[in-house]
Structure 1
Amino acid sequence: MSIQTDDTVHDVIVIGAGPTGLLLAGELATAGARPVVLERTLHPAETPKANGVVGRAAVELRRRGVLRGTGLHVVRPPRFRYGPFTLRLGLLRSPLHILPIPQRRLEELLERRAVGRGAVVLRGHEVTGFEQDATGVTVRVATTDDAEIELRARYLVGCDGVHSLVRNELGIGFPGTTSTGIARIARITIPEHAATRDSAEIVFPGIGRLALFQQNQTEHGSVTIAPMNALDRSAPFDLYIVSSHEERGDAQPTDELSEAELRASLRRVLGADLPFTTAYAARSVVANSRQAECYRRGRSFLAGDAAHIFSAGGSALNIGLTDAIALAETLAAALRGRADETLLDGYQAQRHPAARRALAHTRVQHALETPDETGEVLRGVFAELLKDRAAARRIATLLEL
């Protein structure tokens, strides 16, 4: 098979059309650059992922006009979950900003903005390898019509997820830890007659009371359940997102989980059957806490999940978006001819410590949720500390960064 070579030299090739890659492309295009986003899949994923943006990333999206005309708003919540605890932040001037938005909707908005400002998004383009030299990067791409092409760019950014080809090709280490537990997640329909609920809890005959939006610990694990219309006002009243957490054993994470496996896991944890009728987009995940040893080699960079993954707390999306903003500023300056090694290394100097701080917070939250004796002792200490609202507000301030 012959390889087609595109003689155009693009400013930046971004691998991955998730929120990080799309925001990066939009920022670069706004700065006058010519970015190209390469995405392996033909269509955006329908699998539910994150349901909101927290902290500075939410404020930055609003500031850039991403939310204009959408009816979406950044809010300051009086309460926020931190592991198994609720941080009570007060009704006035909560230090934390939140944008409630499903990830799929966020991707739609970011792609529209990026393309509207001149970025090119090529779907069905899978990167198979690349080489870099002193002046740029040559990227090999396989397309869905069995063509092989080569693209050339001055810089390359891997926003290509946990199993990043860019990170692996660059030989960058990804040290960290893997959880011994497994979470099974789905959207489920629970008929109104099968349970009663208010703003804080849901009650099932034969099971009892389950708190909403937080882990409900049992002898065999935990269950978290939340009504989708609290996150997305257009969602039906009887639609919920549910997750079970238990020891992994020999189980392996999978993007497609059968309804029978989900029911069995919930039964093991709750000791009874959860009365739902249908499950959608069920999957299982194993928590990892990892960070790339460095974010740059030569003219190639890492951002988002390719650079870091978190074990709890929903930080991946927030940190990935702020990665994109910082890296866009660095690359825009480089493309204007102001590049030297100090400037290019500035991205790592800024973002590596930020992700490390976020990793620390998610590891604390994960430790607080563990059902063993250590977790129980930690929960006791935190319960005492959080009686002081100033302590809760200080934690929220740290999450805002």
Structure 2
Amino acid sequence: MSTQTDKHSVIVVGAGPSGLFLAGELAAAGVRTLVLDREPGPAQTPKGNGVVGRAAVELRRRGIFDGAGLRVVRAPQFRFGPLTLRLGLVGSPLHLVAVPQRRLEELLERWAVRQGATFLRGHEVTAFDQDGDGVTVRASVDGSPVALRAEYLVGCDGARSHVRKRLGIDFPGVTSGDISRQARVTLPAGAVALTRDRVEVPGVGALPLFRPHLTERGSMTLAPVRALDPSAPDDVYLVATREPNGAAAPTDELPDDELRASIRRVLGADLPYTTSSSARSVVGNSRHVSRYGAGRVFLAGDAAHVFSAGGSSINAGILDAVDLARTLTAALAAGAGASAVDGYHARRHAANERTLALTRLQHDLEGAGSWGEALRGLVSGLLASRGGARRIGALLEGCRTARF
């Protein structure tokens, strides 16, 4: 095994939004930071479509959007499950920026490199051991082992985090009984009639944009990609169905006939699209670690929490990174040891418990049948007032002082 003796202060595992932001933030503070990622290059699969919450403001403050043509705005209204939060034209508590995740990761990596972070792609972490002075990380590079050394290690390596599993930290929560099938589809202009907030589909009627269309068999959400990515063609839409799982298994490569069959089951009719791409299926999880680290090893982003709804993942992960960068920078300056994990855990666990509750509520609001109808009736009444809607908006923002 080859050993790299050049010691880093922090090794970050995973080059998703949380890991990239953490690396840039640490490097900007003068911390010698190394990012390891098992993939040879950035992921090309379309994922998230924007940043919602205080993370958008944190990104803007650091100039990450400068020159990119991206604008952080206050949302006058926002989707909350199948309902709408009416937050007002002035003083909305909720910020957002529409940016495809792939583009966001490009901007974050470029910024992190400018700050001085180092990247090693094609490095799959296989093991690590910690002692009183630091952490030894073992990785595989094209089948050859390599060892690296740092004072601290952070796992930002996703929901299936190897770092979390190696630490033996519990990841309690629930797995949804529903399956969601998602894709980009081409809807020719002559096949549907598009208005500002809905699409008229022959044989179906009016489908709302950006929020679920609920039926007795599940739900379907439709949105023009151009609203999120101005470079996209006018006739390309994001489509997502949700229905009871049955015996289906999630897959990263979903056949087109399976997507069409799911739409037909949910809508009771066909959606007249011509082609589909980036089709996949997922089963939602709602999970939260019992501990945000152990000793000199920490967790952030999806390695620490996954949400079943609401687009909160990037916001929560970036806010983890803001807090953890501050925590580690202070610990390194003071020569602190493993006790640095305590304050970070207490702050982020409490904040993300609130986020978890919000996303679980949004998931349940989309439920079919009388239970879902009763919940929607109750919550829509509570959100009818501007004050109630803004309170939920502040919670979605990730406001430090917001409480239920």
TM-score, structure 1 as length reference: 0.97
Q: Distance in 1 between matches of 2:285 and 2:171?
A: 11
Q: Distance in 2 between matches of 1:394 and 1:304?
A: 24
Paired amino acid for 2:198? E
Residue matched to 2:152: 155
2:83 to 82, 85, 99: 85
Aligned 8 A contact 2:294 2:341 in 1: no
Q: Secondary structure of the equivalent of 2:112?
A: helix
Deviation at 1:341, TM superposition (A): 5.2
1:115 to 113, 119, 143: 113
After superposing on structure 2, the runs of 4+ consecutive aligned residues of structure 1 that deviate more than 4 Å are none
Residue matched to 1:312: 309
Residue matched to 1:165: 162
Q: Distance in 2 between matches of 1:372 and 1:40?
A: 44
Q: Distance in 2 between matches of 1:202 and 1:11?
A: 53
Paired amino acid for 2:361? V
1:367 aligned onto 2:364: yes
When structure 1 is superposed on structure 2, of 328-337 and 304-313 the one drifting more is 328-337
Identity %: 59
Residue matched to 1:303: 300
Matches of residues 54-65 of structure 1 in structure 2 within 5 Å? 54-65=52-63
Residue matched to 1:377: 374
Deviation at 1:373, TM superposition (A): 2.3
Residue matched to 1:400: 397
Residue matched to 2:401: none
Q: Secondary structure of the equivalent of 1:193?
A: coil
1:198 aligned onto 2:195: yes
Paired amino acid for 1:370? G
Q: Secondary structure of the equivalent of 2:103?
A: helix
Deviation at 1:308, TM superposition (A): 0.3
Residue matched to 1:30: 28
Q: Distance in 2 between matches of 1:256 and 1:94?
A: 39
Deviation at 1:387, TM superposition (A): 2.2
Number of equivalent positions = 398
Residue matched to 2:257: 260
Deviation at 1:342, TM superposition (A): 4.8
Task: After superposition, give the CA deviation of every residue in 1:72-123 in whole Å (9 maximum; x if it has no partner).
Answer: 1110121100011011111122121111111111101110011111111111
Residue matched to 1:139: 137
Q: Distance in 1 between matches of 2:356 and 2:10?
A: 28
Deviation at 1:334, TM superposition (A): 1.4
Paired amino acid for 2:187? I
1:125 aligned onto 2:99: no
Q: Distance in 2 between matches of 1:387 and 1:163?
A: 39
When structure 1 is superposed on structure 2, of 370-379 and 24-33 the one drifting more is 370-379
Q: Distance in 2 between matches of 1:71 and 1:12?
A: 32
When structure 1 is superposed on structure 2, of 381-390 and 317-326 the one drifting more is 381-390
Q: Distance in 1 between matches of 2:340 and 2:303?
A: 21
Task: After superposition, give the CA deviation of every residue in 1:107-141 in whole Å (9 maximum; x if it has no partner).
Answer: 01110011111111111111111111111111111
What runs of 5+ residues in structure 2 fail to find an aligned partner? 399-404
Deviation at 1:278, TM superposition (A): 1.2
Q: Distance in 1 between matches of 2:324 and 2:384?
A: 40
Paired amino acid for 2:349? H
What runs of 5+ residues in structure 1 fail to find an aligned partner? none
Paired amino acid for 1:164? S
2:213 to 208, 211, 216: 216
Residue matched to 2:402: none
Q: Distance in 1 between matches of 2:346 and 2:381?
A: 36
Q: Secondary structure of the equivalent of 1:61?
A: helix
1:386 to 383, 386, 396: 383
